[in-house]
């Protein structure tokens, strides 16, 4: 495995950063999870745009231009000769001191990892997954805007612990007002009376790339999509429910807190959108040139 680290491709065992890096010390940084399908990096431009928006919001100047970041990502995929993979692109504030002042960090650290990922077993896509509602609330926008994809994931991790203790793969998170935000690592949708609904981003959800793609696919086939406010009453009484995420893709939900969703099977609209996404993911993105040189420059 070759990992991009600050302008160079290095073997995994040499891909190290200082313990004084503020990404390690404080979770000060941003990241993107990106998928490669059959040599196609799915919606890479959208991921890079979101990365730079997150960086701008936390007042961090990235050391590469967006075009250079795209080039570095594609070359790292090519260097690892991966046709299907998961990319983790991480930018931390960089080396500093033990204080939290970001001004003490001169240059951000950029790392690009290309590996494999399997979040859910295949049977979950066929049979669906159960969810529970975590007691951990999503951090409100007035404290930290959920649209920032930051390295500090403790809020989500604590909710994931709730899911693990309950024996389910994922947990639903509410915001401080008690409305649905998202899951620990996925966006969530419900179907009610033929309409597709998902929490508005200002209720605590990250603007997922897969979320956006599924909304576009629904509109293309005439399915109404509404970003709205959802409460647990709406979730329990949904006709269908599913999750979306870069790692998860589209996963049916069959129960929440022991309440059966619909007939307890993945619904027709869920299957339709999952199939449409499977076709979209291999053609909507940027193709990898696997003949590029191994060396990667800034």
**pLDDT score recorded for residue 264:** 96
CATH code, 2-117: 3.30.470.10
Q: For the chain, which residues make up each domain, given as ranges? A: 2-117, 122-280
Q: Are 213 and 280 in contact (CB under 8 A)?
A: yes
> Catalytic one among 104, 127, 149, 226?
149
Rounded Cα–Cα distance for residues 209 and 47 (Å): 7
We find that the CATH architecture of domain 122-280 is Alpha-Beta Barrel (3.20)
149 is a catalytic site residue? yes
pLDDT digits (tens, 9 = 90+) for 102-125: 999 999 999 999 998 877 889 999
Residue 81 class from Cβ within 10 Å (0-12 exposed, 13-18 middle, 19+ buried)? exposed
Average pLDDT by consecutive 10-residue portion of the chain (298 residues)? 97 96 97 96 97 97 97 97 96 97 96 89 94 96 92 96 97 97 97 96 92 96 95 98 95 98 96 96 92 60
**Cα–Cα dist 167/187, whole Å:** 20
Q: Tokens representing 36?
A: 């490669």
Considering just the CA atoms, what is the radius of gyration of the chain in Å?
A: 20
What does the alpha-carbon distance between residue 68 and residue 63 come to, in Å, rounded to a whole number? 9
C-beta separation of 112 from 3 below 8 A: yes
pLDDT at 119: 75
Give me the pLDDT at residue 138, please.
96
Length of the chain measured in residues: 298
What pLDDT score was predicted for residue 298? 44
Q: What is the pLDDT of residue 120?
A: 85
Q: List Cβ neighbours of 220 (8 Å cut-off, separation of 6 or more).
A: none
């Amino acid at each position: 495995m070759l990992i991009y680290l600050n302008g160079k491709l290095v073997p995994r065992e040499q891909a190290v950063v200082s313990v004084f890096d503020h990404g390690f010390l404080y979770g000060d940084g941003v990241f993107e999870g990106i998928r490669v399908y059959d040599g196609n990096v799915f919606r890479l431009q959208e991921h890079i745009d979101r990365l730079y928006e997150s960086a701008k919001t936390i007042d961090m100047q990235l050391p590469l231009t967006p075009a250079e970041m795209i080039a570095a990502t594609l070359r790292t995929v090519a260097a690892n000769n991966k046709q299907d993979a998961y990319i983790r692109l991480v930018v931390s504030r960089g080396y500093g001191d033990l204080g939290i002042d970001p001004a003490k960090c001169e240059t951000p650290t950029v790392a690009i990892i290309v590996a494999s990922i399997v979040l859910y077993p295949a049977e979950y896509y066929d049979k669906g997954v159960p969810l529970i509602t975590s007691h951990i609330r999503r951090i409100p926008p007035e404290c930290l805007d959920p649209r920032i994809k930051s390295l500090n994931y403790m809020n989500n991790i604590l909710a994931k612990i709730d899911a693990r203790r309950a024996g389910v793969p994922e947990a639903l998170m509410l915001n401080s007002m008690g409305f649905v935000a998202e899951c620990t690592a996925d966006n969530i949708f419900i179907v009610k009376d033929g309409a597709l609904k998902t929490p508005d981003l200002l209720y605590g959800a990250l603007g997922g790339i897969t979320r956006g793609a599924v909304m576009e696919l629904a509109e293309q086939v005439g399915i109404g999509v509404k970003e709205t406010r959802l409460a647990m009453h709406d979730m329990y009484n949904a006709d269908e429910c599913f999750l979306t995420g870069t790692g998860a893709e589209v996963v049916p939900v069959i129960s929440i807190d022991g309440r059966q969703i619909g007939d307890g099977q993945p619904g027709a609209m869920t299957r339709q959108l999952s199939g449409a996404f499977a076709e979209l993911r291999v053609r909507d993105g940027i193709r990898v040139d696997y003949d590029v040189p191994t060396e990667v420059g800034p």
